[in-house]
Amino acid sequence: MPEDRVALAARTLALDVGLVPVGPAAGAALRLLAAAGRARSVVEIGTGTGVSGLWLLAGMRPDGVLTTIDIEGEHQRVARRLFAEAGYLPGRTRVINGRALDVLPRLADGAYDLVFMDAEPSEYPGAVTEALRLLRPGGVLAVNDVLAEGRIEAVRMVVDAEEWLPALLPSSAGLLCAVKRG
């Protein structure tokens, strides 16, 4: 899938600072998931420079809000600038600086349509548990690069739990998607 000028800038900046952003295929899948679920409230764990956030915003409802969490404030400043450059008003994004496992417990139960994880693998098991609480019934969990090192525990947690209806999409190192049964 082709990326626009802003998404390409976000990708280039991510690579320049040593981040590995979602690829265009995973981004297109995120946009599709957000659009199919008519997502109004999305949580993103791992802001980076905004690559995945741009894909998510493109699929969300026009009144949707992306809550994005990261520990790197400088990366978030870049993402905020690029969200604005792409035409998203500041009210469409809520950028929170901090560790996901510190921030997620403060978010509302059952209030989110989609949770996307692409951050520190050691936080994935705890974040999967939090995602189950945060998502409404029918909400979607998406976990990037699940076949990469250190992420298999999160895969097992989702695949083995009866609360999830999972599928693994063959995008780069795998995009695990799961619908919260309800």
Residue 175's domain spans which residues? 5-180
In this structure, the number of other CB atoms found within 10 A of the CB of residue 95 comes to 20
Q: How many domains does the chain have?
A: 1
DSSP states of 90-110: GGGEEEEES-HHHHGGGSPTT
What pLDDT, on the 0 to 100 scale, is given for residue 182? 86
pLDDT band at 146 (very low <50, low <70, confident <90, very high): confident
Structure tokens of 121?
């693998």
Answer whether residue 148 shows pLDDT above 90: no
Q: Give the pairing of strands 65-70 and 93-97.
A: parallel
Closest listed residue to residue 96, CA positions, set 68, 124, 121, 120: 68
Q: What's the one-letter identity of residue 164?
A: W
CATH at 23 = 3.40.50.150
In angstroms, what CA-CA distances link 79 with 6, 98, 123, 143, 151? 10, 15, 22, 20, 25
In this structure, the number of other CB atoms found within 10 A of the CB of residue 120 comes to 16
pLDDT digits (tens, 9 = 90+) for 70-125: 999 999 999 999 999 999 999 999 999 999 999 999 999 999 999 999 988 888 89
Determine the average pLDDT of the residues in 122-133. Answer: 93
Determine the average pLDDT of the residues in 10-35. Answer: 93
In this structure, the number of other CB atoms found within 10 A of the CB of residue 98 comes to 13
Taking only Cα atoms into account, the Rg of the chain, rounded to an integer number of angstroms, comes to 15
What pLDDT, on the 0 to 100 scale, is given for residue 155? 83
Backbone phi and psi for residue 114, each to the nearest 5 degrees, phi listed first = -150, 140
What pLDDT, on the 0 to 100 scale, is given for residue 121? 83
pLDDT digits (tens, 9 = 90+) for 32-67: 999 999 999 999 999 999 999 999 999 999 999 999
Closest listed residue to residue 57, CA positions, set 82, 77, 20: 82
